[in-house]
Structure formats: C-alpha cells, structure tokens
C-alpha cells in the first residue's frame, strides 16, 4: 500500500516554512511538493535532503537532484560543481534539520496520529490501519518500513496538509531510540503488536525489549490511547509503563477474557481467516485475507485502534478482506517448474523465532498439489545474542509439529538446526543464500508449497529472486513474464 496521493499543485513546504523549521538559511522563493532523500526516485518539485550515511553522502547527489527538478536541496556543506544561485537550504546538520521538518509537520497538522511498534507485524499492521481508516477520511501512512531515526522524521515531513489520519511505524534495536522518535511523532494512539525476541542481542532480555517498546508512550499526552497485546506475557509491564506515562486510555486485544478487543473465534484457512470478535463492546464478524493466527491478532489491534480513531467498525472490518500480502511479508506466487507448478510464499523480509513459527503455521495450512511437499527455506535469525544457537535448534519442534516435509537452510546458525533434524527432513544446508538459491531452484517439483524466510541480513530475497526467475504467475494462475535470474 502507498500513502495517499497528494495534490502536487499545493505546496507541501514553502521556503519560509522550511527555513523556520530547520533554522537554516537560503533563498526564500521556492516551494516544494514533496520531500526526498534519494535522487533516483526524486520527483520534480521535491525538496532533496542530503543525508550523510556510512556508505553514501547525499551531498554527492545534489547536482543530480537539482538537474531532475528538485525545488531546493537541504545541505550542511556546499557541494562542488553547482551552478551559481542554486536553491540551497544550508543548515548545521541535515539529519537534525529533517527532524525539524518532521516536528513542524506534526505541529501544524490537524490529523489524528497513530504509531505502531512491536517485535513483529509493524508494517502489516500499519498498512492495514491505513486501509481501514481510509474509509473515514484522507489517510497517509509511512512508506515501506521507514521506522528508524531518519525514516520517521522523513515520513512526518511528507505528511500531507489535508490528511485526516497519519500512521507511522516506530522501530528500534537499542534502548532510547523509540523515545526519540515518539517525541517527534507525538502519537494520539499507540499500538504495540507484541513482544518477542527481535534485537535481544542488544537489549539482553524480553523485559528490556518490552521497556524499549513502551518508550512509545513517552511522546503521548494524557488524552492519548494505547492498544496493547492482552495475551502477551509482558502485558502488565506495558500497562504499568503506560500508566506511569499518564496515558488516558489503555485497550487490550487478544483472547483474554478481559480484553476490550476480544477474539471470540477464528477459523484459519490456507489463504484467509474467518473471525468473530467483540471490539469495545461491539460484536463483529469479518473475513481477513491474510492467513495465520498472528495476522488475526494484528487485525484485532487494527480494529481497536481504528475504532478509537473514530472509524465505523463495520467499514473498517470490511477492508480487512481486501488486504494483500506484502512482498517479503507473505506475498504468494505460482511458479512454473518442469511438469507443473508450485507455490511460493515470500516471507523473506525478516525473521525472529516467533515470526518463523507463525510463518511455518501458515505453510502448514497450504495445500500442496498432487505429490507436492511443504518446504521451508530458512536463513539465519540474527541479533539473538548468546542464545542464538538454542533459538535455532528450537525450530525443530514447530517443523515437526506443523508437518513440514523438507527444510533447506543456510548460514552458521541454521547449521545448528540442521544438526538436530532427522535426515529425512533436512534437504540441504548451504553456507549462504546464493548457494542455497541454486539448490532450491533446481530441486523444486510440481505441487510443492515453499516458504522462504530469514533475517534481512541473511539475504533470503536472493532465494526469492531465483525462484521468481522461473516462469510463473500469481496465485490465481495468471502468467508473469520470466524475470532476470537472481541466483
């Protein structure tokens, strides 16, 4: 899903507004209709922000951005080779200036601001919220997973003036990061999806992870509302932090008898779920087009937050039947192999123990074709700290419980899992995703249902690209052109 289309005739930022927001200096006669940090995707009329990172320095691309029609460039040093009179907004530090734009955008908007954090499901929940609230008014959501120290202020800086709702994702891998982001976003409604093991290497314990996620409350006022996972082992810890922050209303979601957004029943199918729930006292039955109980729980959080934001419950629930799985987060595709077709479930964007088990439960519901197998292709789960080997070996249990026929895996930690699997279940272990991609692509057979998942640093998208190079189509059987080989 994408943010709402904005009227490119109405300026998002005037030069005067940008100068005031950033404390910079420069000409005051330009208007920007968007904000970009990438000269490759910049549109004419955008303000180009030259961020300096570990691999690239945006100042090296200012000339290219202006040549493409950038309204102005936000810089903290003067790039060489620019024409005289180039529209530059000079500041002390471009990242801090971007934060200034974000703060100013938040200060001027009348939109209800919602923020989503959690160990898994943030992006899917954010995009589902966007769909549900769009029935109520013009709704903007941050692009992709723009949830870090530059992604959140950039997303706020892009918030359209006319938006009725703004939805933002807040992420972290160290303490204090969400605290900084929430003070910029200042959400009216905060959603915590769950507390898992992601980034435990840096935080040390799940309790510390819960505390880091609870930092989201620090940017909220007493008029704000929090939507929390009632079934989570750390719910009381989150609740206590919300109360200490003075949050006016806390709503729990889950199966728990005291959950204000309570799951009554869920029938889980291969490609969808039929759900019955009670949302803030209102009973509702709906179809969720994303399979798996983890998505059901996310949907409860979405409906609770949407209702708190003023959405009609039936309207919001109807949108949940129209959601499409995102690339890297459950997208499905039919692939042509010698003698027939197989199904690819792309979960390659990221992984932690809880999300891998959830993905395996979805694979378990997939119906292979005649003679087909349920195949998991897994890469290392990263940032798990001293317990990483144990967490990987523990995946043997859900592989067995969900009846996964074959496992292909790669990476040093997945080697630990390979050691404890029976020979009949382990198909192959390779050192990296590129070697594994060739192996999987060569050995897929008609009727197979194959899941690909791993942490982003494991580069499991390489496997997906190799499989997509096989001529195929989408899940409805429509043919797609042969892609470039990514193996």
From the number of C-beta atoms within 10 Å of its C-beta (0-12, 13-18, 19+), residue 339 rates as: exposed
In a domain, 481, yes or no: no
Domain end, chosen from 73, 100, 127, is at: 100
pLDDT (0 to 100) of residue 478: 36
How many other β-carbons are positioned within 10 Å of the β-carbon of residue 469? 17
In a domain, 487, yes or no: no
Residues 285, 203 within the same domain: yes
In a domain, 154, yes or no: yes
Residues 315, 341 within the same domain: no
Domain end, chosen from 76, 100, 124, is at: 100
Residue stretches of the chain with pLDDT short of 70 = 1-9, 471-487
Residues 252, 353 within the same domain: no
Residues 220, 88 within the same domain: no
In a domain, 377, yes or no: yes
- In Å, the largest CA–CA distance within the chain is 70
Domain end, chosen from 100, 118, 136, is at: 100
**What is the rounded distance in angstroms from the CA atom of residue 212 to the CA atom of residue 67?**
42
Name the strands in the sheet holding 374-379, side by side, starting at the edge strand that comes first in the sequence.
426-430, 406-410, 374-379, 449-453, 340-347, 331-337, 472-473
Residues 277, 339 within the same domain: no
Residues 145, 245 within the same domain: yes
pLDDT (0 to 100) of residue 472: 47
**What is the rounded distance in angstroms from the CA atom of residue 344 to the CA atom of residue 233?**
33
185 touches 115 (CB < 8 A): yes
Instruction: Say what the pTM is.
Output: 0.92
Residues 85, 120 within the same domain: no
Residues 266, 296 within the same domain: yes
Residues 343, 282 within the same domain: no
pLDDT (0 to 100) of residue 8: 59
In a domain, 426, yes or no: yes
Report the DSSP pairing between strands 340-347 and 331-337.
Answer: antiparallel
pLDDT (0 to 100) of residue 9: 67
pLDDT (0 to 100) of residue 470: 85
- How many angstroms separate the Cα of 78 from the Cα of each of 24, 56, 330, 355, 377? 13, 16, 44, 45, 48
- Give 425-430 contacts, CB < 8 A, sequence gap 24+: 425/399, 425/400, 427/375
Distance of CA 414 to the CA centre of its chain: 24
From the number of C-beta atoms within 10 Å of its C-beta (0-12, 13-18, 19+), residue 258 rates as: exposed
Tens digits of residue pLDDT in 23-56: 999 998 999 999 999 999 999 999 999 999 988 9
Residues 156, 77 within the same domain: no
The residue segments making up the domain with residue 416 are 331-473
| Tokens encoding 24 | 């910079």
Residues 80, 31 within the same domain: yes
Here the CATH number for the domain that contains residue 377 is 3.90.190.20
In a domain, 7, yes or no: no
pLDDT (0 to 100) of residue 423: 84
In a domain, 3, yes or no: no
194 touches 297 (CB < 8 A): yes
Here the CATH number for the domain that contains residue 307 is 3.40.1190.10
Residue indicated by tokens 């005739």: 9
Q: What is the distance between the terminal CA atoms of the chain, rounded to a whole angstrom?
A: 28
Residues 360, 252 within the same domain: no
Tens digits of residue pLDDT in 364-380: 999 999 999 999 999 99
Here the CATH number for the domain that contains residue 32 is 3.40.1390.10
């Amino acid at each position: 899903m994408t943010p709402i289309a904005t009227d490119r005739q109405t300026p998002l930022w005037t030069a005067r507004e940008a100068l005031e927001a950033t404390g910079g200096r420069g000409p005051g006669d330009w208007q920007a209709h968007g904000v970009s940090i990438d000269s490759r995707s910049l549109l004419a009329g955008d303000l180009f922000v030259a961020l300096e990172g570990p691999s690239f320095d945006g100042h090296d691309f200012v000339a290219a951005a202006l040549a493409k029609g950038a309204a102005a460039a936000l810089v903290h040093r003067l790039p060489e080779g620019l024409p005289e009179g180039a529209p530059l907004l000079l500041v002390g530090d471009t990242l801090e200036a971007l934060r200034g734009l974000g703060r100013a955008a938040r200060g001027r908007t009348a939109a209800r601001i919602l923020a989503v954090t959690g160990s898994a499901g943030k992006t899917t929940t954010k995009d589902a919220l966007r769909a549900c609230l769009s029935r109520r008014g013009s709704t903007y959501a941050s692009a992709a997973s723009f949830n870090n120290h530059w992604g959140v202020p950039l997303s706020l800086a892009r918030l359209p003036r006319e938006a009725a709702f703004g939805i933002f994702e807040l992420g972290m891998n160290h303490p204090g990061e969400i605290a900084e982001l929430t003070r910029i976003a200042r959400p009216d409604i905060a959603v915590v999806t769950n507390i898992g093991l992601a980034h435990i290497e840096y935080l040390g314990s799940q309790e510390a992870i819960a505390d880091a996620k609870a930092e989201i409350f620090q940017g909220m006022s007493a008029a704000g509302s929090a939507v929390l996972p009632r079934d989570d082992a750390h719910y009381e810890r989150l609740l206590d932090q919300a109360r200490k922050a003075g949050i006016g209303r806390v709503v729990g979601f889950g199966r728990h008898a005291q959950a204000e957004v309570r799951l009554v029943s869920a029938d889980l199918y291969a490609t969808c779920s039929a759900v019955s729930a009670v949302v803030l006292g209102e009973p509702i039955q709906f179809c969720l087009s994303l399979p798996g109980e983890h998505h059901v729980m996310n949907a409860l959080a979405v409906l609770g937050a949407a209702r708190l934001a003023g959405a009609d419950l039936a309207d919001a629930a109807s949108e949940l039947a129209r959601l499409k799985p995102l690339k890297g987060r459950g997208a499905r595709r039919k692939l042509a192999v010698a003698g027939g077709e197989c199904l690819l479930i792309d979960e390659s964007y990221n992984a932690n123990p809880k999300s891998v088990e959830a993905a395996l439960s979805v694979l378990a519901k997939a119906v292979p074709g005649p003679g087909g197998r349920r195949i998991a292709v897994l890469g290392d789960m990263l940032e798990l700290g001293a317990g990483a080997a144990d967490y990987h070996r523990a995946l043997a249990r859900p592989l067995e419980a969900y009846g996964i026929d074959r496992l292909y895996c790669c990476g040093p930690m997945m080697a630990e899992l390979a050691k404890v699997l029976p020979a009949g279940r382990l198909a192959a272990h390779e050192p990296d995703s590129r070697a594994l991609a060739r192996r999987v692509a060569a050995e897929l057979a008609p009727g197979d249902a194959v899941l690909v998942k791993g942490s982003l640093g494991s580069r499991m998208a390489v496997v997906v690209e190799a499989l997509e190079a096989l001529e195929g189509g989408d899940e409805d059987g429509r043919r797609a052109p042969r892609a470039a080989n990514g193996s």
